[in-house]
Structure 1
Amino acid sequence: MTISGQEEPLVRVLYDESRRDLREPGRPRPVRLYVWEPRDPVAVPAPLVVISHGSGGSGSDMGWLVHPLVESGFRVAALDHHGNNFVDGYEPEGFLHVWEQPRDITFALDALAREQPLGPVGAAGFSMGGYTVAALAGARIDPQVLLGIAMGAAPMPALPEFPDALDALLKKYSELELLSALESAAADLSDPRIQAVFQVAPGIGRFLTPESLRTVRVPVEIRWAGADTISPYEEDTRPYLEHIPTADGCSAGPDVRHEDFIGPDPAAVRLRVGKEVTAFFVQHLA
Structure 2
Amino acid sequence: MAGSEVSEPTVRTLIDTSRPDLFGRGSGRPIRVYDWTPALRGDDRPLVVISHGTGGSGRDMGWLAGPLVAADFRVVSLDHHGNNHVDGYHPQGFLFGWERPRDITFALDSMGGADRVGVAGFSLGGYTAAALAGARLDRCIIGAILSGEVPLPPIEEFPDALQQLQSSTPPEAWSAAADDAARDLRDPRVIAAFLVAPGLGSLTTRESLNAIRIPVEVRWGDSDTTNPYELDVRPYLDHVPHAHGSEVGGGVRHEHFIEPLSPDRADVRASVAADAVRFFSAQLA
TM-score normalised according to structure 2 size: 0.94
Task: Specify the code of the residue in structure 1 equivalent to 2:216.
Answer: V
1:174-253 aligned at under 5 Å gives the runs 174-253=170-249
Alignment gaps of 5+ in structure 1? none
CA contact (8 A) 1:227 1:254 kept: yes
Which residue does the alignment assign to 2:15?
Answer: 15
1:95-244 aligned at under 5 Å gives the runs 95-113=94-112, 117-244=113-240
Q: Is 1:34 paired with 2:34?
A: yes
Task: Specify the code of the residue in structure 2 equivalent to 1:12.
Answer: R
Which residue does the alignment assign to 2:88?
Answer: 89
Calculate the aligned-residue CA RMSD, in Å.
Answer: 1.8
Query: How far, CA to CA, are the matches of 1:38 and 1:85 in structure 2?
Result: 23
Task: Specify the code of the residue in structure 1 equivalent to 2:176.
Answer: S
Corresponding residue SS for 2:133: coil
Query: How far, CA to CA, are the matches of 1:209 and 1:3 in structure 2?
Result: 35
Q: Is 1:57 paired with 2:53?
A: no
Query: How far, CA to CA, are the matches of 1:237 and 1:215 in structure 2?
Result: 17
CA contact (8 A) 2:3 2:61 kept: no
**Sequence identity, in percent?**
54
Q: Is 1:275 paired with 2:274?
A: yes
TM-score normalised according to structure 1 size: 0.94
Moved more, 139-148 or 67-76: 139-148
Q: For each residue in 1:82-122, what CA deviation from the matched residue of structure 2 results, as whole angstroms up to 9, or x when unmatched?
A: 00000001000001011100000000000011xxx325110
Distance 1:39 1:142, change over 3 A: closer
Query: How far, CA to CA, are the matches of 2:160 and 2:75 in structure 1?
Result: 33
CA contact (8 A) 1:38 1:71 kept: no
Query: How far, CA to CA, are the matches of 1:7 and 1:280 in structure 2?
Result: 23
Q: For each residue in 1:134-174, what CA deviation from the matched residue of structure 2 results, as whole angstroms up to 9, or x when unmatched?
A: 00000000111012222333221121111111111111101
Query: How far, CA to CA, are the matches of 2:25 and 2:36 in structure 1?
Result: 31
Q: How far off its partner does 1:177 sit? A: 1.6
Q: How far off its partner does 1:37 sit? A: 1.4
Query: How far, CA to CA, are the matches of 1:109 and 1:174 in structure 2?
Result: 33
Q: For each residue in 1:157-211, what CA deviation from the matched residue of structure 2 results, as whole angstroms up to 9, or x when unmatched?
A: 1211111111111111011122122211111100000010000000010110000
Q: How far off its partner does 1:4 sit? A: 4.9
Moved more, 241-250 or 180-189: 180-189
Corresponding residue SS for 1:34: strand
Task: Specify the code of the residue in structure 1 equivalent to 2:36.
Answer: W
CA contact (8 A) 1:44 1:119 kept: no
Q: Tell me the matched-pair count.
A: 280
Distance 1:147 1:248, change over 3 A: same
Query: How far, CA to CA, are the matches of 2:48 and 2:191 in structure 1?
Result: 10
CA contact (8 A) 2:223 2:254 kept: yes
CA contact (8 A) 1:83 1:92 kept: yes
Alignment gaps of 5+ in structure 2? none
Moved more, 31-40 or 260-269: 31-40
Corresponding residue SS for 2:18: strand
